[in-house]
């Protein structure tokens, strides 16, 4: 559904999700997961499985991986104890190889530059820990484009909670009709709806293998460059 143009014209600022939206980071997340599992003498898991576990930050990714590998419930005390032990190892492995196999999705750099040039304020709102977010943005030459960067641990709550988007509106002194959230996961769309801001869902990301359209964003795009049709005069 394309909303009447007037609603898009209000937009002054855009919050972008990171993993599965700007950067395909699963290959390195999978490598760090497998390096951690190997230290626990557990077998490797596939990249497809890891892709289905990404979306709620590093800790939940590892919780899902350990739950799968040990065939133990995610909330069992035994698994929580193992998670506490292994989490520092995952953080170590991922920090070592943040961008070895990760890549920018097609069109991301060019379109972000065009949006910035057109006057939009740009932010990253990710559930990835902040300490990984900045080096990744730097590695891909994106860091200068954003005036706000929020990681999953920057505030008391992460997406799908609206807090990161509310924080941006406060920081930028804008209202909810002026902010747009762009992301690949239902967490992005749920956060946007909870903050009463518009959202665009991207189909090429992760979203636990589910159709992003089911979350009913205001628009769905198959490619990052399709954002132009809503946000830039042709």
Ligand X SMILES: O=C(O)COP(=O)(O)O
- Binding-site residues from annotation for Mg(2+): 17, 19, 184
18 binds ligand X (CB under 6 A): yes
CA dihedral over 204, 191, 164, 113, signed as positive or negative: positive
CB nearer to ligand X: give 17 or 28: 17
17 binds ligand X (CB under 6 A): yes
Contacting residue, 64, 128, 186, 228, with ligand X by CB under 6 A: 128
Nearest-5° Cα angle at 60, 53 to 195: 90
In angstroms, how far is the first alpha carbon of the chain from the final one? 19
Tell me, yes or no, if 17 is annotated catalytic. Answer: yes
Taking the C-alpha atoms of residue 27 and residue 23, their distance in angstroms, rounded to an integer, is 11
Tokens of 30: 């999978």
β-pairing, 121-125 vs 148-150, is parallel
Q: Which does 126 bind (CB under 5 to 8 A by kind): Mg ion, ligand X, none?
A: ligand X
Binding mask 52-81 for ligand X (x = CB under 6 A): --xxxx---x--------------------
191 binds ligand X (CB under 6 A): no
Bridge partners of 16, per DSSP, are 124, 182
**Which positions are catalytic?**
17
Chain contacts with ligand X (rule: CB under 6 A): 17-20, 54-57, 61, 126-128, 185
């Amino acid at each position: 559904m394309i909303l009447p143009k007037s609603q898009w014209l209000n937009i002054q600022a855009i919050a972008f999700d990171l993993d599965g939206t700007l950067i395909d980071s699963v290959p390195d997340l999978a490598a760090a997961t497998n390096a951690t599992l190997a230290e626990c003498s557990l077998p490797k898991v596939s990249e497809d499985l890891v892709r289905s576990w990404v979306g709620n930050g590093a800790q939940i990714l590892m919780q899902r991986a350990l739950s799968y590998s040990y065939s133990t419930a995610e909330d069992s005390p035994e698994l929580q104890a193992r998670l506490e032990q292994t989490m520092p190892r995952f953080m170590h492995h991922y920090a070592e190889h943040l961008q070895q196999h990760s890549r920018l999705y097609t069109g991301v750099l060019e379109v972000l530059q065009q949006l910035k040039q057109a006057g939009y304020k740009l932010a990253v709102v990710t559930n990835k820990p902040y300490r990984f977010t900045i080096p990744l943005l730097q590695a891909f030459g994106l860091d200068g484009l954003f005036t706000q960067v929020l990681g999953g641990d920057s505030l008391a709550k992460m997406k799908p909670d609206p807090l990161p988007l509310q924080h941006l509106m406060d920081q930028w002194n804008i209202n909810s009709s002026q902010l747009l959230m762009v992301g690949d996961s239902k967490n992005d769309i749920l956060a946007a709806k909870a903050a009463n801001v518009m959202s665009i869902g991207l189909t090429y990301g992760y979203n636990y293998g589910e159709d992003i359209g089911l979350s009913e964003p205001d628009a769905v795009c198959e490619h990052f460059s399709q954002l132009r049709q809503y946000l830039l005069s042709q």
